[in-house]
Amino acid sequence: MKKVAFFDTKPYDKIWFEQLKDKYDFEIKYFESKLNSDTAYMARKYDAVVAFVNDNIDANAIDVLYENDIKIIAMRCAGYNNVDFKAAYEKVHVVRVPAYSPFAVAEHAMALLLTINRKTHRAYSRTREYNFSLNGMIGFDLYKKTVGVIGTGKIGQIFMDICKGFGMNVIAYDPYPIKDKGIEYVELEELFQKSDIISLHCPLNKSTHHIVNENSLKLMKDGVYIVNTSRGALIDSEALLNAIKTQKVGGAGLDVYEEESDLFFEDFSNTILQDDTLSRLISMPNVLVTSHQAFLTNEALQNIAETTLDNLKGFFEGSLLENEICYQCDKKAVCEKDHKEKCF
């Protein structure tokens, strides 16, 4: 029986992993601590590590894991920008869950848009205090509005389908356009200029870091709505805050935040939040922040557990690692090994 060290554990993480672990013949030790260079030693005497998007898997953490004979890190998420792949290459294999439930994330993106537009979050608070005034609650029809989608992977495509169901005009930008899908691609600058609503569904890398910034915000329509359920650092938070204050941005729905790693998934309700930018964003009446919960459906949690455990099983059995990522993958659009063998 292989032993697995599971980091950054929350109660909902255990639901499906506990149900499935015996099927895969794994023993799992759950740690509440995040995985980083200070906690990596806790994986000693284990055969594998399961990590999450807010763990800090830098070169030092990789070295500690490697010194403790850990040969694989299974990310129970799609994102992996928190992993130092150059340090991991030829030391520790890294696998992920590429598509746990694109429907969950796309649906949450639409939920954010509907909420900030129609002010249902404010209505909920008002009516609980028996305030039935409609002042300040005006929204707009989504019908015929233009939504610009940045990133047309599975989540982006599903979000576009949802928007079409509302009768919206959909345009998209992606450096790697998908053919034969009927997607109307435009250049990024044109998307910024034409969109009433912009939704981000792209990965975080050097080219997309702060893709929404002071300059791109200037190109956008006055009163544009911005939704981000992808990665926080796609948006320059200070620039967004200033654009909201000047009413350049009419509303923002944010499930991610660029400095979220030490904040999201934790309870700080009895403390004073030290992040002034996040505090000011949350205080805005036309901003809705959720704490990286877009993925959180029962179906997604089941898929995450099954894929993560399948990834580990495949590694220990010497099978093809379809969901492996490595330094080579990170450097090129398509890994030269094409996942027909392990990355090293």
DSSP line for 36-77: STTTGGGGTT-SEEEE-TTS-B-HHHHHHHHHTT--EEEESS
Predicted pLDDT at 99:
85
Enter the pTM of the model: 0.88
List alpha helices for 90-234, DSSP H.
102-118, 120-128, 154-165, 188-194, 214-219
Sign of CA dihedral 216, 221, 223, 227: negative
* pLDDT of residue 329 exceeding 70: no
- Is residue 218 assigned to a domain? yes
Query: Domain boundary at 239, 267, 289, which?
Result: 289
**pLDDT tens-digit profile of 73-83?**
999 998 888 99
Predicted pLDDT at 335:
57
- Is residue 324 assigned to a domain? yes
Identify whether residues 233 and 324 lie together within a single domain. Answer: no
- Is residue 337 assigned to a domain? no
Q: Cα–Cα distance between 294 and 227 in angstroms, integer?
A: 12
Active-site hit among 260, 266, 322, 336: 260
Identify whether residues 280 and 302 lie together within a single domain. Answer: no
Residues in a beta bridge with 18: none
**pLDDT tens-digit profile of 220-251?**
999 999 999 999 999 999 999 999 999 999 99
- 129 is known as an active-site residue: no
Active-site hit among 292, 317, 339, 341: 292
- 118 is known as an active-site residue: no
Query: What is the full DSSP assignment across 267-328?
Result: --TTS----HHHHHHHHSTTEEE--S-TT-SHHHHHHHHHHHHHHHHHHHTT---TTEE-HH
Residues in a beta bridge with 288: 253
- Is residue 339 assigned to a domain? no
Active-site hit among 76, 108, 231, 324: 231
Identify whether residues 132 and 262 lie together within a single domain. Answer: yes
**pLDDT, mean of residues 81-93:** 93
Predicted pLDDT at 181:
92
Identify whether residues 165 and 259 lie together within a single domain. Answer: yes
**pLDDT, mean of residues 323-338:** 65
- Is residue 260 assigned to a domain? yes
C-alpha triplet 5, 311, 93: angle, nearest 5°: 70
Q: What percent of the chain has pLDDT over 70?
A: 96
Identify whether residues 233 and 280 lie together within a single domain. Answer: yes
What mean pLDDT value characterizes the chain?
94
Identify whether residues 320 and 308 lie together within a single domain. Answer: yes
- Is residue 179 assigned to a domain? yes
179: containing domain = 102-289
**pLDDT, mean of residues 311-331:** 84
Identify whether residues 62 and 195 lie together within a single domain. Answer: no
- 238 is known as an active-site residue: no
Backbone dihedral angles phi then psi of residue 93, each to the nearest 5 degrees:
-75, 145
Identify whether residues 220 and 276 lie together within a single domain. Answer: yes
Tally of structural domains, the chain: 2
CATH code of the domain covering residue 159: 3.40.50.720
Backbone dihedral angles phi then psi of residue 255, each to the nearest 5 degrees:
-95, -5
Identify whether residues 186 and 303 lie together within a single domain. Answer: no
Q: What percent of the chain has pLDDT over 90?
A: 88
- Is residue 11 assigned to a domain? yes
Predicted pLDDT at 330:
55
Identify whether residues 302 and 236 lie together within a single domain. Answer: no
Identify whether residues 135 and 270 lie together within a single domain. Answer: yes
* pLDDT of residue 338 exceeding 70: no
Identify whether residues 65 and 118 lie together within a single domain. Answer: no
- Is residue 212 assigned to a domain? yes
Q: How sure is the predictor about 337, in pLDDT bands with cuts at 50, 70 and 90?
A: low
